Amino acid sequence: MKWVCISIKTKTEAVEAISYGLTEIGISSIEINDPKDITSIIKNKQKTDWDYIDEDILKNKDMEEVLIKAYIPEDNPYEEKIIQIQEKLNNIKQFLDIGKGTIEIEKIDEERWVNSWKKYYKPIKIGKNIIIKPTWEEYIPKCKDEIIVEMDPGMAFGTGTHETTSMCIEALEQFISKGDIIFDIGCGSGILGISAAKLGAKKVIGVDLDPNAVKVAKNNVKLNKVDNIMKVYEGNLLDVITEKANIVVANIIADIIIEISKNVFKFLKPKGFFISSGIIKSRLSEVKETIINNNFDIINIYEKGEWCAIIAQMKE
């Protein structure tokens, strides 16, 4: 399949707003290239056991410039999307510094896109025992307690390298109990749900609005041999789930987390946990206040780089 790649040059503080704007107009295949993410990994290299990162990647990079790449199938009317993106950027720059805010367009093959970022994606340790391993990479376990999660994210979110994902995995590792039921909202590549299944969850349900993400997640579930535990559905949590979980995890963006917070208690068992991530620091207090106002206690707040994750528990 051929894709149209729409590249937007911006700044870290505008990434969340632009990403949300893209989802509002129906674009869900998004790649974020932020040099600060790579420097964060390098600084924490020993902590994450990322031994393969090539620091030459940052040569001649503008450390203040983020590149957001939005992917649209070539057979879709993408010209209209470009107009909509420009309108979103014009609106966002009224209240945020979006940097250059330029838009560039390129047509690419899916195979080329996949291969272009594989050189950056290597085995990485998250938390105490989780090892996220790309399917094409060799990895020899260093101890018997390591839990290997095989991933081929394709055109979906979730490789484990971004702070928002790694914080969710660390939280799951800390709060999951054997036999728990887990819901993963906006599951992307399925990385969080698969990690939950391998951490001892009895049942995992992943939901995503993007049919491509659902396809990728289902493939990764089978690859990790947890299809007896995890099921993936296309749609909204409110529409596809009727039961209750011990933990609901959502690695999305602040605005959607705020909306989810108003109803997520309906899907949680008493004293259940709500793990939310993808919250840029400037929005933390707003998201925190909304969660508290919807019958939750804040148990912990993780921070990595410009991002935050909130672990909340339902009040009795």
The Cα–Cα gap between 133 and 138 comes to 8
The token pair that represents 130 in the structure block: 């989780």
Stretch among 21-30, 209-218, 268-277 having the lowest mean pLDDT: 21-30
The pLDDT value recorded for residue 199 is: 96
Q: Which of 294, 244, 297, 300 is nearest to 277 (CA)?
A: 300
Q: Comparing 310 with 210, which gets the higher pLDDT? A: 310
- 84 lies in the same domain as 133: no
Which of 70, 89, 118 is the last residue in one of the domains? 118
**Which CATH number belongs to the domain containing residue 20 in this structure?**
3.30.70.120
Average pLDDT of every residue of the chain: 84
The pLDDT value recorded for residue 8 is: 94
9-27 pLDDT, tens digit per residue, is 999 888 888 888 887 888 8
Is the predicted pLDDT of residue 289 greater than 60, yes or no? yes
**Which CATH number belongs to the domain containing residue 232 in this structure?**
3.40.50.150
The pLDDT value recorded for residue 12 is: 84
- 34 lies in the same domain as 131: no
Residue 50 in domain: no
Residue 52 in domain: no
The pLDDT value recorded for residue 235 is: 86
Cα 5–chain centre separation? 20
- 228 lies in the same domain as 194: yes
Stretch among 100-104, 126-130, 217-221 having the lowest mean pLDDT: 126-130
Contact (CB, 8 A) for 92 and 98:
yes
Is the predicted pLDDT of residue 91 greater than 60, yes or no? yes
34-56 pLDDT, tens digit per residue, is 776 554 544 544 444 434 444 44
Total domain count, the chain: 2
pTM: 0.75
Stretch among 52-66, 69-83, 94-108, 125-139 having the lowest mean pLDDT: 52-66
The Cα–Cα gap between 172 and 223 comes to 21
